[in-house]
Amino acid sequence: MTAEERERYSRQILFPEIGESGQEKLLASRVAIVGCGALGSFQAAALARAGVGRLTLLDRDYVEPSNLQRQWLYEEADAAEGLPKAVAARRALARINAAVRVEAHVEDLTPANIEDLLDGVQLVLDGTDNFETRFLLNDFCVSRRLPWIYGGAVGSYGIVMPVLPGGPCLRCVYPEPPAGLQPTCETAGILNPVTATVAAWQVAAALKILCGLQPAAAVLTFDVWQGAIRQTPLPEADPGCPACGRGEFPFLEGDRRAPISLCGRNAVQIHERSRPLDLDLLARHLAPHGTVRNNGFALRFFHGGYELTVFPDGRAIVKGTTDVGVARSLYARFLGY
């Protein structure tokens, strides 16, 4: 550790459970954050300030004005430009701590790319908004004995659960995705203190793990509006669990995602191309049919009551519908597939 690093992290080093040895471990560590929204943006900022040496950021979405109420790294200019969240987060982190190496991936995490994107990380933090991605993360991390930390928030309610090698995994607690109509940020709203609280607990657990310690094996739930908090010890790993018990990892199978409606977004994600798109060429192709904005990271196309945001990997977010058929039709009409 350099003299500058000792000064920068001096207050953290003074904390006995971290000390100099723990800080050196943090500086040498590598963490992946999957989803750079309300939870992930806070996680990224906190870990960069704590001196985690390398951060891998993954997010499939772009910054919108409605994000600014609770997504901690972004500014009005990011929303006006429609920057991908991973790109905007990397720029912000460079201003916070230029010594941290940040890899930003504007991609949807899929069975086809998860091994490449998460290769070499020591820990994964969940900043996602859907159980499909969480079950994919669970399968990957359990199969590789890699710790990850689940977190979720809606309204004023939050939940945090560390998933550690040898312990119960997410599918021990949730064998299947929650059934029925679930509240979302769009239907139930969300308070920014709950996202900060969830992410802070996730970061605290992450710092423990990276320093070689074990976080509490418990599910933490709380309601910041009611002032209620509960910590429930995790059960033993279920020997009948498909993932950690029987070693079955179906969410790692396949090579791409089916179209999915995005949580609370009145939007559908389509990812049906496997070759890159030339956004400049696409902009010229779409210009006669509507309004086009292209910042090089993503292209936004407005047609009628719909908005298509197209990324260089061929993925698109079709806003203005939750009907997969309508979204597919628009994708095929304007992208030719």
How many helices (H) and strands (E) the chain has is answered by 13, 14
**Weakly modelled stretches of the chain, pLDDT under 50:** 256
Can you give the pLDDT at residue 22? 98
Residue 102, amino acid:
V
Domain 3-252 architecture: 3-Layer(aba) Sandwich (3.40)
Can you give the pLDDT at residue 180? 55
Can you give the pLDDT at residue 326? 82
Q: What percent of the chain has pLDDT over 70?
A: 92
Q: Buried (b) or exposed (e) across 12-46, using 16+ Cβ within 10 A?
A: bbeeeebeeebbbbbbebbbbbbbbbbbbbbbbbb
Q: CA end-to-end span of the chain, whole Å?
A: 53
Instruction: Tell me how far apart the alpha carbons of residues 241 and 233 are, in angstroms, rounded to a whole number.
Output: 18
Strand partners, 101: 54
Structural domain boundaries of the chain?
Answer: 3-252, 260-335
Can you give the pLDDT at residue 259? 54
Domain 260-335 architecture: 2-Layer Sandwich (3.30)
Can you give the pLDDT at residue 332? 76
Can you give the pLDDT at residue 321? 87
Can you give the pLDDT at residue 276? 77
